Amino acid sequence: MRLTTRNIREASGVRVFAIAAVFCILICSGCATASKTISDEEIAGFNTEFFSADSLNNRMLGSEYAVPEEINLFELFYNGVNDAAAEVSEEELALLTEFDSQAPYLDIIKITAGEMDTVLRKRLGLGLEETKKTGLENFCYLAEYDSYYLIHGDTNYDPCTVTSGTRESDGKLILEYTKEYEEGRWAVTLQETDEGYLFLSNCRID
């Protein structure tokens, strides 16, 4: 094929158009990941409702995890599901006393495997078997009741204060917060859904 000045001009025009199209795509991609600072009203809502009224949301901040699968189940379920000692049968108490002689004198936290699974699916979007089961070895498990037990007399509840937040266009919400009983700052990443939020990660930032 013989190249003419017109052929060269046309080819150059196509290249310029292609470069411009790629540039536009990159610009749009940048727009798609743009973040927006959330309002003081939204921050107040997280402080007075989301992390305060629902203690399980608060306890999702009890351990650090880069992905949901790494959450520490011992920290999450330390106070049970309803923040109350469980009613256990005499047979359960006898079995637990073999595990810990202080069982008759301390609070007994009982969480069925099904309850764990429900909590995890609601807040992480995955079930118990999909996690790394970090911290699960600290529970006493009774197969005949398919339940996990903790025996103690304290709590790991630590109030948090959200100080700032940004919302990404893909629905992710990054909240920075402090804790009442521990020095430092953390960032929790949430994913907005039709039902509320899923926890994606929780990391210390200083």
- For 28-34, the CB contacts below 8 A with 24+ separation are 31/169, 32/169, 32/170, 33/168, 33/169, 33/170, 34/168, 34/169
> For residue 17, is pLDDT > 80?
no
> For residue 107, is pLDDT > 60?
yes
Residue 171's pLDDT is 87
Q: Confidence band (pLDDT; 50, 70, 90) for 95?
A: very high
Residue 121's pLDDT is 97
Residue 84's pLDDT is 67
> For residue 21, is pLDDT > 50?
no
Q: Which residue, among 168, 190, 186, has the nearest Cα to 176 in the 3D structure?
A: 186
Q: Using a pLDDT cut of 90, give the percent of the chain over it.
A: 75
Q: Confidence band (pLDDT; 50, 70, 90) for 33?
A: low
Task: Give the integer Cα–Cα distance in Å for 35 and 169.
Answer: 6
More confident residue, 5 or 96: 96
More confident residue, 87 or 186: 186
CA count, 13 A, side-chain hemisphere, 18: 6
Residue 19's pLDDT is 46
More confident residue, 1 or 124: 124
Which H or E run includes 176? strand 172-179
Mean of the per-residue pLDDT values of the chain = 87
Average pLDDT over residues 71-89: 89
- For the whole model, what pTM was predicted? 0.81
For 150-196, how does the pLDDT look when each residue is reduced to its tens digit (9 = 90+)?
Answer: 999 999 999 999 999 999 989 899 999 999 999 999 999 999 999 89
Q: Confidence band (pLDDT; 50, 70, 90) for 14?
A: very low
